[in-house]
A and B are shown apart, each in its own frame.
Chain A
């Protein structure tokens, strides 16, 4: 069976749910395929032509049978629909407090950045047992990030962020595939995710980190690009302050509201005129082409680190960037909600340098 595996290894908390759905559909399919095949063979043999002038009986149909083979498959299909939708909801809704990793796809490689600044190419190291959320953007064309052992996949689309999450359950090395055709070396845009015991993961992190977190890098960019001259710590600049806004709804000039999330931050940098916050003038220039996808993600991480109502991932907030009082509660609040042992996470980063 090693030579002819029928199913991929189940290495995530989600894999079992997807496989259960799969086995159910295989069972239903096998039942109907065998039913039809048997009926065809039995009828064909039993009613084979015995005389050259023989004709079949003039049976025109049966309402009862038509109803039966319409409604029974319909009922089964609706059951599949509901079950499949439930699994999909679970697959696409990351829990709060998931460990965030930023992913940039480009022809033909994956660039991954951990929150503490560790960077990887075509490799992803994650600890076992902890929800991991990937926030993914593309520098060029559409890619798709596929982890077959975890049964998760999401397209990586230029101009927006798509997310994907999983909780790895089994240490080991598993494939990363690009599954959206992206050009000549599409089939070489592959890599490995390495699932490690938490202690090994900490050791790996402390060895690989530059010591400058992704939000730190974003903070530096925020200064260098001059963002800080308008977006100030308190509401007095020409642009809205970004502190404490993440996760809230924002009122716009045209009366609509928009969720202050990763996509809105990104859009406001590359296309600032699209959605103007109520009470402000459309004066911000675009940064399209001036900042790379990597830098955009760093800026997003920095803005998120300024806090908000419901932080997407409970970024460990660099104390140096958080002079004001209320920031201290954020990480604590998150770890209280999810209870995934996040309290231990920020610790190993400091020895990095």
Chain B
């Protein structure tokens, strides 16, 4: 509760000017901003590709672009959005900025490695951008063999190297978070007093460290087979194409949890702040993050139900996929229960929470359809799958990201943002998102396959709805970019705690000083204790 103030007026933003002070910074907050600009640029690029995809699909024929170009568009959209936006989005920006502050530390455990991870990310991104600019890549973000190693005429190796390199950035970020959480917590900050945002990032970091090496070696093997014709995956060279799918999804399914777990952490923070109430079932929400991270490693085979995978392997992956849904359901119920008897206000971060819970619930429930073996046979590789994972990735992860950016914007920049515009943008995102992706469930069940530049006419109505929705969604994304930049100079000052929220980050000035805390804080209770404790069943 003690507000720690510095009187010098010096903060991490005005403590040094010039390009060098940013490019050589070791301050986790400045590195977070470097990431913020970079992931936003990649998001804009990936979004531009999405726009072209939706425009092409307005009509059944391939008229705006040829199929060859269309295939490159969805590949670049996928590669950029997955590897260069969604995976780093929340951890590398908000996580980087907040985790040291939330544990009461001056910085992450390894500040230089933190800066290094940003440079690695940029280097990987450059490889991918060069691949895109010099002709593109057309394998789909999944790089399936033997197409990627034997048939594709595009820049597979270059883009693969981009993914390979950027993976190390992810590994180093995860390592930094794990060590920081273990070693640098302030006195009194026990594990069960940690904010849930930290728990979810801890779980995310475990996946980053354990999973990313597998995708790295897998794309490297693709490059080796493609470049040196060494038979690994291509049956014509004596390899096994299904082996690739196992290796690829061993990382890429857990990667989904890399994307969604940090967003869940953001939601847990915001819902407590705007209900002015501690989370319902803290231990269950915290441990469900770990459960998702662990079980999430054991479900990859549900991507292979129709590949010829053995039925008995399929059964195991099916039941585990159902099991991984349970901790997500537990979180949704606990967030909902948190609002009960709260003091709820409706600023834009909270609107994103409502949006997140609604859309993630639909995204999670439709995941059950894909875990159900007999049903997955029909919907596999159709637009039903596209709709499902966009409900999780966009409806979940990006909603969480935008909610988090708005919630901590006053802390990061020291300034508020125009609340009316923000509410309008949140509404655009919600409406536009549903209009874009809900019709895709229907057209998917009707049988429209994914990655089709041309499609039969009977699917057009749903595609027109999708494209209309995408334009609303695009406006919803554009508005915040404009007003957030505008707010840097023009909005009123925020003060240390504009929301009246709990948590160490709200007890220091906005923007925080470089060293975060003038005096290391001593923590005496759990986060988000708004009212005196009333024991109902759960101790922690």
Interfacial residues, chain A to chain B (CB-CB below 8 A): 3-8, 17-18, 21-22, 25, 28-29, 32-33, 36-37, 39-40, 43-44, 47-50, 54-66, 69-70, 73-74, 77-78, 80-81, 83-92, 107, 140-142, 144, 146, 148-149, 151-155, 157-160, 162, 175, 177-188, 190, 271, 288
CB pair B374 A159 closer than 8 Å: no
Supplied contacts A58-B531, A84-B373, 11 more A-B pairs, CB within 8 Å: A29-B366, A56-B342, A59-B340, A60-B278, A64-B537, A69-B330, A74-B323, A77-B325, A159-B240, A181-B71, A185-B67
Instruction: Kindly state the separation between the CA atoms of A44 and B445 in the bound complex, as whole angstroms.
Output: 34
Given A8-B447, A81-B318, A81-B322; A49-B344 close (CB under 8 Å)? yes
B452 CB contacts on chain A under 8 angstroms: 186-187
Stretch at the interface among B79-87, B256-264, B304-312, B418-426: B304-312
CB pair A61 B538 closer than 8 Å: yes
CB pair A55 B447 closer than 8 Å: no
**Chain B window 292-325, contacts with chain A (Cβ cutoff 8 Å), 1 for yes, 0 for no:** 0000000000000111100100110011001101
Residue in B284, B344, B376, B378 with the greatest tally of chain A CB atoms within 10 Å = B378
Within the complex, what minimum Cβ distance (angstroms) separates A226 from chain B? Answer: 23
Say whether B280 faces chain A, with CB atoms less than 8 Å apart. yes
Partner pick for B151 among A7, A18, A107, A162, CB 8 A cutoff? A107
Stretch at the interface among B180-188, B202-210, B355-363, B508-516: B355-363
Instruction: Kindly state the separation between the CA atoms of A85 and B305 in the bound complex, as whole angstroms.
Output: 11
CB pair B318 A60 closer than 8 Å: no
Say whether B491 faces chain A, with CB atoms less than 8 Å apart. no
B382 CB contacts on chain A under 8 angstroms: 146, 148, 179
Residue in B306, B318, B371 with the greatest tally of chain A CB atoms within 10 Å = B306
- 7 inter-chain pairs at a CB distance below 8 angstroms, sorted by A residue, are A8-B447, A48-B346, A63-B537, A162-B308, A175-B456, A178-B449, A180-B144
Partner pick for B374 among A18, A154, A186, CB 8 A cutoff? A18
CB pair B368 A29 closer than 8 Å: yes
Instruction: Kindly state the separation between the CA atoms of A2 and B220 in the bound complex, as whole angstroms.
Output: 49
CB pair A21 B375 closer than 8 Å: yes
Partner pick for A37 among B358, B375, B450, B534, CB 8 A cutoff? B358
Partner pick for B344 among A3, A4, A47, A160, CB 8 A cutoff? A47
B540 CB contacts on chain A under 8 angstroms: 60
B368 CB contacts on chain A under 8 angstroms: 25, 28-29, 77, 80
Say whether B455 faces chain A, with CB atoms less than 8 Å apart. yes
Stretch at the interface among B119-127, B331-339, B466-474: B331-339
Within the complex, what minimum Cβ distance (angstroms) separates B450 from chain A? Answer: 7
Interfacial residues, chain B to chain A (CB-CB below 8 A): 62, 67-68, 71, 138-140, 142, 144-147, 150-152, 234-236, 238, 240-242, 275-278, 280-284, 305-308, 311, 314-315, 318-319, 322-323, 325-326, 329-330, 332-334, 336-337, 339-346, 354, 357-358, 361-362, 365-366, 368-369, 371-378, 380-382, 442, 445-447, 449-456, 458, 461, 529-538, 540
The 7 lowest CB-CB distance pairs between A and B, nearest first, are A87-B374, A148-B447, A56-B277, A159-B235, A84-B372, A56-B342, A88-B373
CB pair B342 A43 closer than 8 Å: yes
A158 CB contacts on chain B under 8 angstroms: 146, 234-236, 241
CB pair B531 A57 closer than 8 Å: yes
Within the complex, what minimum Cβ distance (angstroms) separates A34 from chain B? Answer: 10
Instruction: Kindly state the separation between the CA atoms of A98 and B309 in the bound complex, as whole angstroms.
Output: 22
CB pair A32 B325 closer than 8 Å: no
Within the complex, what minimum Cβ distance (angstroms) separates B399 from chain A? Answer: 14
Instruction: Kindly state the separation between the CA atoms of A183 and B333 in the bound complex, as whole angstroms.
Output: 43
CB pair A47 B341 closer than 8 Å: yes
Residue in B234, B365, B449, B461 with the greatest tally of chain A CB atoms within 10 Å = B449
CB pair A187 B281 closer than 8 Å: no
A140 CB contacts on chain B under 8 angstroms: 146, 150-151
Partner pick for A155 among B240, B308, B315, B450, CB 8 A cutoff? B308
B453 CB contacts on chain A under 8 angstroms: 186-187
CB pair A59 B306 closer than 8 Å: no
Partner pick for A77 among B71, B275, B281, B326, CB 8 A cutoff? B326
Within the complex, what minimum Cβ distance (angstroms) separates A20 from chain B? Answer: 10
Instruction: Kindly state the separation between the CA atoms of A154 and B306 in the bound complex, as whole angstroms.
Output: 5
CB pair B447 A60 closer than 8 Å: no
A57 CB contacts on chain B under 8 angstroms: 277, 341-342, 531, 534
CB pair A18 B71 closer than 8 Å: no
CB pair A60 B381 closer than 8 Å: no
CB pair B146 A56 closer than 8 Å: no
CB pair A188 B67 closer than 8 Å: yes
Instruction: Kindly state the separation between the CA atoms of A294 and B179 in the bound complex, as whole angstroms.
Output: 58
Given A18-B375, A73-B329; A61-B280 close (CB under 8 Å)? yes
- Beta-carbon nearest neighbor of A34 in chain B: B361
Partner pick for A142 among B146, B315, B376, B535, CB 8 A cutoff? B146
Instruction: Kindly state the separation between the CA atoms of A50 and B343 in the bound complex, as whole angstroms.
Output: 8
Instruction: Kindly state the separation between the CA atoms of A74 and B368 in the bound complex, as whole angstroms.
Output: 12
Instruction: Kindly state the separation between the CA atoms of A288 and B308 in the bound complex, as whole angstroms.
Output: 22
Partner pick for A33 among B140, B240, B361, B451, CB 8 A cutoff? B361
Partner pick for A151 among B305, B343, B378, B381, CB 8 A cutoff? B378
CB pair B318 A61 closer than 8 Å: no
- Beta-carbon nearest neighbor of A58 in chain B: B531
Within the complex, what minimum Cβ distance (angstroms) separates B268 from chain A? Answer: 13
- Beta-carbon nearest neighbor of A88 in chain B: B373
CB pair B336 A84 closer than 8 Å: no
Given A87-B374, A162-B308; A54-B71 close (CB under 8 Å)? no
CB pair A141 B151 closer than 8 Å: yes
Residue in A21, A36, A73, A181 with the greatest tally of chain B CB atoms within 10 Å = A181
A21 CB contacts on chain B under 8 angstroms: 372, 374-375
CB pair A179 B344 closer than 8 Å: no
Within the complex, what minimum Cβ distance (angstroms) separates B71 from chain A? Answer: 6
CB pair B538 A60 closer than 8 Å: yes
- Beta-carbon nearest neighbor of A89 in chain B: B311
Given A25-B375, A84-B372, A177-B449; A40-B341 close (CB under 8 Å)? no
CB pair B330 A66 closer than 8 Å: yes
CB pair A44 B339 closer than 8 Å: yes
- Beta-carbon nearest neighbor of A107 in chain B: B151
